[in-house]
């Protein structure tokens, strides 16, 4: 993977980062918000006919995941479909090269932890007068998850993933050659139709720096998690997810008025989670 990454052109490497981090960030960096029941499920069912952005609210705080996501998992991500709805007029950088990942499975470790174990939540928890009586919410370990998934796709070119200690909504991925991918969550929503399903969506701004022409765009990831019947004897997944990452052009892009609120690229993934023991 490392040698392949080094052969990418600037635009292609950025698009690979966007696709990877869009996948990981929007799974892991969601916050509680009000959403009309069923809208996210309907959105996934309509793929790839997405003509607008999802109904969301301003991002604030961290997402409380269902308790059945607590723990460390081996997550397998498989790109099962990709589309360029506005082609040939508008094609995002690296879209063609990303077709090499179609039906290719990438595995890495991810974890969901009690919120008090993360630095960004320590200060808030300490202000609660009855914190000992309040159940600790389950949240994503965004730095751990972001680094592992990015490294699984991009190899040793990924140096670190840092989350702003003042806000879980700001993340920076450091790449070799002085390049940086800065992601800021701006809006999000979620749905819990029943105890076995959990759906999320998030919009965030991304800036790729350290190249002659810094690139800015907006990304959406919409994900539907489903808890399956556990089988302790086999290595079958106990959680599956259907996930779509959409790339939107920023107003600074010369092609913006051709695209508007329509996505210029769509990537659909199938995710599987198998529980694992963390070592080291």
> How far, in Å, are 61, 110, 275 from residue 235 at the CA level?
34, 16, 8
Q: Judge contact between 62 and 139, C-beta under 8 A.
A: yes
Tokens of 260: 């508007």
- Confidence band (pLDDT; 50, 70, 90) for 28? very low
Give one word for 38, left, alpha or beta, with left for phi > 0 and alpha for psi -120 to 50. left
> How far, in Å, are 143, 188, 210 from residue 120 at the CA level?
11, 19, 27
3-37: string of b/e by CB count within 10 Å (b at 16+)? eebeebebbbbbbbbbbbbbbbbbbbbbbbbebee
Query: Is the pLDDT confidence value at 29 over 70?
Result: no
Report the alpha-carbon distance of residue 51 to residue 112 in Å, rounded. 33
Give one word for 71, left, alpha or beta, with left for phi > 0 and alpha for psi -120 to 50. left
What is the reported pLDDT for 133?
Answer: 55
Average pLDDT over residues 91-109: 92
Which residue carries 């720096």 as its tokens? 209
Q: Judge contact between 244 and 44, C-beta under 8 A.
A: yes
Q: What percent of the chain has pLDDT over 90?
A: 57
Tokens of 221: 């990831």
Mean pLDDT for the chain overall: 82
Q: Judge contact between 223 and 191, C-beta under 8 A.
A: no
How many of the other CB atoms lie within 10 Å of CB of 119?
A: 12
Highest mean pLDDT among 55-59, 155-159, 164-168: 155-159
Q: How far apart are the first and last CA of the chain?
A: 24
More confidently predicted of 6 and 131: 131
């Amino acid at each position: 993977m490392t040698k392949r990454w080094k052969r990418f052109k600037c635009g292609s490497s950025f698009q690979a980062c966007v696709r990877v981090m869009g996948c990981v960030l929007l799974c892991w960096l969601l916050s509680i918000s009000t959403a009309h029941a069923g809208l996210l499920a309907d959105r996934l069912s309509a793929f790839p006919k997405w003509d607008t952005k999802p109904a969301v609210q301003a991002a604030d705080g961290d997402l409380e995941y269902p308790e059945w996501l607590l723990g460390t998992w081996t997550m397998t991500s498989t790109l099962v479909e990709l589309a360029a709805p506005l082609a040939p007029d508008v094609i995002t950088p690296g879209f063609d090269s990303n077709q090499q990942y179609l039906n290719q499975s990438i595995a890495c470790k991810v974890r969901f932890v009690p919120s008090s174990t993360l630095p960004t939540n320590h200060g808030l928890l300490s202000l609660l007068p009855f914190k000992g009586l309040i159940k600790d919410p389950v949240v994503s370990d965004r730095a751990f998850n972001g680094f592992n998934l990015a490294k699984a796709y991009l190899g040793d070119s990924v140096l670190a993933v840092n989350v702003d200690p003042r806000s879980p909504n700001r993340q920076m991925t450091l790449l070799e050659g002085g390049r940086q991918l800065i992601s800021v969550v701006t809006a999000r929503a979620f749905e819990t139709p029943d105890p076995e399903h959990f759906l999320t969506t998030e919009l965030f701004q991304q800036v790729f720096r350290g190249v002659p022409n810094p690139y800015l765009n907006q990304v959406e990831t919409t994900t539907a998690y489903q808890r399956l019947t556990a089988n302790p004897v086999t290595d079958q997944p106990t959680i599956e997810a259907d996930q779509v990452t959409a790339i939107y052009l920023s107003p600074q892009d010369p092609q913006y008025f051709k695209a508007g609120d329509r996505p210029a690229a769509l990537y659909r993934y199938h995710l599987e989670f198998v529980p694992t023991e963390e070592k080291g």
